[in-house]
Amino acid sequence: MTVTEGPESARVELAAGGSLQGAIEGDVRVFRAVPYAEPPVGALRWRPARPHPGWEGVRDATVDGPSAPQMSVEGGDPVLGGHGAPPFDDDCLTLNVWTPAAAGAARPVLVWIHGGGFVSGSGSLPLYSGETFARDGDLVVVSVNYRIGPLGYLYPGEKDGDPAGNFWLTDQLAALRWVKENIAAFGGDPDLVTVAGQSGGAVSTAALAGHPEARELFRRVILQSPPFGLRLPTPAEYQERTEAYLDIAGVDSVEQLRALPWQLLIGAGGGLFAKTMRWGYWPTPFLPVVDDITLSRHPAQTLLHGAATDIDVLIGWTREEATFGFALDEAHAAATKEQVVARLADTFGDDGAAEAYAAYARSRPGARPADVLMDLISDELFRVPCLELAEARAALGRPVWAYQFDLPTPAYEGRLGAAHCLELPFVFDNFDAWSHAPFLAGLDPRVRDGLARTMHRAWIAFIRTGDPNHPEMPAWERYDQRTRTTMRFDSVVGAVGDLAGPVRRLYAARGRSRS
């Protein structure tokens, strides 16, 4: 397995035969649209991923391939400005690789799994370019395209005569196996792999950690804003969604679905989106399913069992996660106290809702009902389950570092605060790729760039050593049950003891009251 480098391009000989012709972009060599599994088309729709058979000769790897089919909003959305762009196609199981220009010793590897609410995103987006990590950290970076929306998350179950599901997970496992077999050809160390993801990608990352092969495939995980508060259905519970989807698509069986063009499948997914929306809850028309075949437990629990306890964990959240989806929506921004108390009752019970409202209002002086609602959704879906994982890892004496991203954006008169996804351009330190994103408007470049350098270097340090500390930031201790150290990323970066103490105690009291 070798890399042939020239002034204009790079060529890689893969382990299983065949070659890739990449290109130089900036200071790194890039190999795009590399197939890692057979195209999941025709009879292979809603089937587990199969290894790609390979090819003879030299394959061009200089142009991105299609992204997974998904809805695309013309003009983008008001927060990110878009999270997926054509071309889309069923034949999407490819990955991109970035490697430093200089050959040398085996380098640590970062595998990035994009998020997007299980319905959007792509590993080929410029937002997730591995160039900065490869260049600044001397890393090999891999980003993965996998099936999303109905093609990846629909659970056919008995409708297909085959109980297999979670096709997205089989895709990601196939990609990691490809990395294990081939990454040395790109200068990467197959025994020093970190898997990282954000939002739905962080759920994927945790789910992968629970797979029996995980310890052979990667050593560390970075979980950015995982929505571990989602309740995941069993196969029996998912059947209602499957039936609803078939009805919207106008068919009676999964076999009939296989005959439809993907555009109609995505359109039917939009119908399921509308059908499953509830006020005060993050919309998730498609979800992973705990099927005891591909996924044996909720991903929030995987890192607390078996060999997964040995995996190094970096986990964190943004202070105002929920504003991403709700702050600009009038139906939520205009919430009344009565509405919010009723929503709180779902979590704290009728007897505890008023007290919980008062606790949230005290934590944010001058809070409007909508502010309490934003904090509730943020905590319930993201922050509290992340804290619970950190607490449980600490109780086991296993390594875990925790952070909270606090820097608010001034966009939209500050209504978004430190919203979901806001940490991404700081972690990648690639603001030029985010110039289209409305939620970055108005950030002070000096504060922005300084914080980005600090976070980017911390992620590199963790990927390389399993410890995020580096000389350009304050000391960051592991999370334990004595100090509960959490790194606060803001205009001033600093470690804080029990940063989320009030909300942690509020939810702990809820648990005790229900036990």
Task: State the catalytic residues.
Answer: 199, 321, 420
Q: What are phi and psi of 6, to 5 degrees?
A: -135, 180
Alpha helix (H) residue ranges in 364-428: 369-378, 384-396, 424-428
Whole-angstrom distance, CA of residue 192 vs CA of residue 176: 12
Q: 438 and 81 in contact (C-beta within 8 Å)?
A: yes
Whole-angstrom distance, CA of residue 403 vs CA of residue 310: 20
If you ran DSSP here, which 8-state letter would residue 406 be given? -
Q: 208 and 248 in contact (C-beta within 8 Å)?
A: no
Taking the chain, what is the end-to-end CA distance rounded to the nearest angstrom? 57
Whole-angstrom distance, CA of residue 299 vs CA of residue 272: 24
Whole-angstrom distance, CA of residue 68 vs CA of residue 33: 12
Structure tokens at 298: 């909720």
Whole-angstrom distance, CA of residue 242 vs CA of residue 240: 5
Whole-angstrom distance, CA of residue 307 vs CA of residue 335: 45
The helix/strand count (H/E) of the chain reads as: 17, 14
User: Do β-strands 485-489 and 494-497 pair in parallel, antiparallel, or remain unpaired?
Assistant: antiparallel
Structure tokens at 49: 């991923």
The candidate with the shortest Cα–Cα distance to 289, out of 242, 223, 243, is 242
Whole-angstrom distance, CA of residue 89 vs CA of residue 146: 11
User: Do β-strands 94-100 and 140-144 pair in parallel, antiparallel, or remain unpaired?
Assistant: antiparallel
Whole-angstrom distance, CA of residue 281 vs CA of residue 347: 12
Whole-angstrom distance, CA of residue 112 vs CA of residue 132: 13
Q: 468 and 401 in contact (C-beta within 8 Å)?
A: yes
Helix, coil or strand: residue 510: helix
Buried b / exposed e along 30-67 (16+ C-beta atoms within 10 A)? bbbbbbbbbbbeeebbbbbbeebeeeeeebebeebbbb
Task: Give the bridge partners for 35, in sequence order.
Answer: 94
In 354-499, at which residue ranges do the beta strands (DSSP E only) sit? 400-405, 485-489, 494-497
The candidate with the shortest Cα–Cα distance to 128, out of 108, 113, 109, is 113
Q: Which amino acid is at 168?
A: W
